[in-house]
Amino acid sequence: MIKKKICMLGIFAVGKTSLVQRFVKSIFSEKYLTTVGVKIDKKTLNVGNQVVDLMLWDLHGEDEFQKLQISYLRGASGYLLVADGTRASTLDGALRLKETVDKALGKIPFLLLVNKVDLLDEWEVDEGRLARLLEEDWTILKTSAKTGQGVEEAFLALATKTME
Amino acid sequence: MFTWNVERRELAFCLIDKNHRLIDLGGSLGTYGLGDLREGQDVENRFSFLEGNPVGDKDTVILPRVIVTSGVYADVHIISEEAGLWIVLLDATAEAEQLQLMQQRGNETNLLRERIVQLNAQLEAAQRTIAQLRDELNTR
């Protein structure tokens, strides 16, 4: 059985846990409950004709209380950088975290997820910034843990990248 | 002091070989949902933090506050030696719960602050629009 360790990264309250819960258990809760430390979930999926176990490390969001623990990143095959589309500052936070990961692990497969696309009327993230990142060959998906939009695609896309 | 600390933190340990078979185990395994483990057992699927997490020879990895079973956090120490891989668990639940309370409060306050800033920006934009319209009306 192929196993791939995937880390969920982003600052607090962007929806990392909600994305994992949507993907693994098909559930969503409106209630915000901050993550402490790390919770590891497993989801098996088919990537091409291979069966892959994704070990999803749902890490606490960076905030004034907890900085990213580098030891959590060890052995990661890839990661999902998550930003909240309704809070522009979370994209800055995601870019900072990417730099941290690059220093710790080198370049490994990742996707940027701009979450909460169900709240388009509250959208703050600048589309121009996203366009510039796309020009730098970033893979960016807009997701909603609430409706499920883009969630399966995101995890499958990252799993596929890790198999290349 | 060491014994007190170890007892207070419900120390549990396992020693596994390269084939993920248990060579030795002990301590408060039940605290972490591992009370059913037995020597010789294949534990490849029992320690989710090991999967995809290679530990090099003579290496030590510390993973703080890992949720190891429902409601239980542990500081996980993974120590690679010739004998095999030591996994040492120390209870971190009380600390994690306290941190969770502080973090929750802090983050909710920060989210409210961000929301106030957003609403103020919208209000200012609306006021500018009103002022502009008023000026246009006055010049007619």
CA-CA distance, B64 to B41, in Å (whole number)?
Answer: 26
Model pLDDT, residue B52: 66
Residues 83-102 of A with CB under 8 A from B: 87, 89
Task: Please write the tens of the pLDDT for every residue from A106-160.
Answer: 999 999 999 999 999 999 999 999 999 999 999 999 999 999 999 999 999 999 9
CA-CA distance, B28 to B90, in Å (whole number)?
Answer: 9
Model pLDDT, residue B53: 67
Please give the residue of chain B at the shortest CA–CA distance from A40.
Answer: B48
The rounded percent of chain B whose pLDDT value lies above 70 is: 92
Q: Which residues of A touch B52 (CB under 8 A)?
A: 3-5, 55, 75-77
Is the confidence at residue A59, as pLDDT, over 90?
yes
Task: Please write the tens of the pLDDT for every residue from B107-117.
Answer: 999 999 999 99
Considering only the beta carbons, identify the residue of A13, A36, A75 that sits closest to B65: A36
> What band does B18 get if pLDDT is binned at 50, 70 and 90?
confident
The more confident residue out of B5 and A87 is A87
pTM recorded for the entire structure: 0.93
> B96 and A36 in contact by Cβ < 8 A?
yes
What distance in Å separates residue A38's CA from the closest CA in chain B? 5
Mean pLDDT, range B52-65, rounded to an integer: 81
Neighbours of B58 (CB within 10 A): 9
Q: Which residue has the tokens 């580098």?
A: A70
- ipTM computed for the complex: 0.92
Is the confidence at residue A65, as pLDDT, over 70?
no
Task: Please write the tens of the pLDDT for every residue from A67-110.
Answer: 888 999 999 999 999 999 999 999 999 999 999 999 999 999 99
Quick check: B13 and B27 in contact, CB under 8 A?
A: yes
Please report, for chain B, the start and end positions of each structural domain, with discontinuous segments joined by +: 2-91, 94-140
Mean pLDDT, range A11-38, rounded to an integer: 96
Class of domain B2-91: alpha beta
Sheet with B12-16, side-by-side order of all strands: A140-142, A110-115, A78-84, A2-9, A50-59, A38-47, B60-69, B72-81, B84-91, B12-16, B22-27
Structure tokens at B81: 């030696």
Model pLDDT, residue A64: 67
Domains of chain A: 2-163 (3.40.50.300)
The more confident residue out of B58 and A71 is A71
Is the confidence at residue A62, as pLDDT, over 90?
no
Residues 5-64 of B with CB under 8 A from A: 48-49, 51-54, 61-64
Interface probe, candidates A30, A33, A34, A44, chain B, greatest B C-beta count within 10 A: A34
Q: Which residues of B touch A77 (CB under 8 A)?
A: 52
Model pLDDT, residue B45: 87
Is the confidence at residue A1, as pLDDT, over 90?
no
Of B27, B63, B68, residue with least CA distance to B48: B68
Q: Which residue has the tokens 């909600």?
A: A18
What distance in Å separates residue B72's CA from the closest CA in chain A? 11
Model pLDDT, residue A47: 94
What distance in Å separates residue B75's CA from the closest CA in chain A? 9
Q: Which residues of B touch A89 (CB under 8 A)?
A: 114
Neighbours of A108 (CB within 10 A): 16
Structure tokens at B110: 């920060």
Q: What is the residue type of B25? A: L
Mean pLDDT of chain B: 91
Q: What is the residue type of A67? A: K
> Beta strand pairing status for A110-115 and A78-84?
parallel
Model pLDDT, residue B82: 86
Mean pLDDT, range B89-107, rounded to an integer: 95
Side-chain-side CA neighbours of residue B28 (13 Å): 13
Give CA B101 to chain center in angstroms: 14
The more confident residue out of A68 and B68 is B68
Side-chain-side CA neighbours of residue B139 (13 Å): 6
Residues 31-90 of A with CB under 8 A from B: 32-34, 36-40, 42, 53, 55, 60-61, 63-66, 69, 71-72, 74-77, 87, 89
